[in-house]
Chain A
């Protein structure tokens, strides 16, 4: 397995992502500068990490979405290649049009940094096959603009096509939008592209991979990717 973690000015979770990919998925990892125009040859997975690319100037992810490397990321996604955007990476994927909708300011205007419950909506994708459907995960979030929104038609389409990856849940597994951390519509914490090969999510699975420093609920995502790529090879 070969991964490319894209580095923008202001990214700050690239090493966390790289560490999780190496430790859990056994992946070879290249950190790729945004000014490049090609991905390393035979890249299986592209990761857009968390952070504050370009200081969130203009809109979160807006400048990074127009960076040079994004042409290659788009081509990789169009060929069916796997792309994972975490936090700022999710914002970049939406701004780049690789995922629909947009992430706006949290409903209560606060930056929220805490662990949340996430419900796995489906366990048959390259990103979630190591989990069970409806499994509850505890994963940290750290963002000020994670309030997912899109027009009504897009939301209906995402729901009808099973493209919601994760939802913010209560401890009992129930979804309550008003109770969510950021006001995201239908409690949406992550969504897939039409072909399920691009995933954007606000929570940070790369931060819950080692028992020594907390929980390991995030490991399943990286185990899933390793298994999916092994099966495809």
Chain B
């Protein structure tokens, strides 16, 4: 089973890297970009096909390592 974990900064946390990227897009002349926030993506392969246990394992992975919940939130998407 394949899943994708997306970790992003909480909205209240400043993202200087996102701001710098936003500025670079503006200087490239890419129009219509209002703001950019940077995040991380983890593609995870899981053994077996049990969705519930996979969700449990990924929640543990996120809470214990993949995200720092002081500043970040995460969401999990399963490949169809």
Contacts and interface: CB of A to CB of B under 8 A. Distances in A.
Interface of A: 58-59, 62, 66, 95, 100-102, 104-109, 149-151
Chain A at the B interface: mostly helix, strand, loop or mixed? loop
B68 interface: yes
A152 B72 CA distance: 15
Contact of B68 (A95, A105, A107): A95
Contacts of A62: 65, 68
B68 A59 contact: yes
A101 B65 contact: no
Contacts of B68: 59, 62, 95, 102
Chain B at the A interface: mostly helix, strand, loop or mixed? helix
Classify chain B: how many residues form its interface, as a range.
10 to 19
A49 to B, nearest CB: 21
B16 A105 contact: yes
A213 to B, nearest CB: 34
A150 B70 contact: yes
A61 to B, nearest CB: 10
Interface in B1-55: 13-14, 16-17, 20
B20 A151 contact: no
Nearest to A105: B16
B71 interface: yes
A26 to B, nearest CB: 38
B16 A149 contact: no
Nearest to B14: A107
Contact of A105 (B17, B65, B66, B70): B17
Contacts of B71: 102, 104, 149
Given A66-B64, A109-B16, 7 more contacts: A59-B68, A66-B65, A95-B68, A101-B70, A107-B14, A107-B16, A149-B71
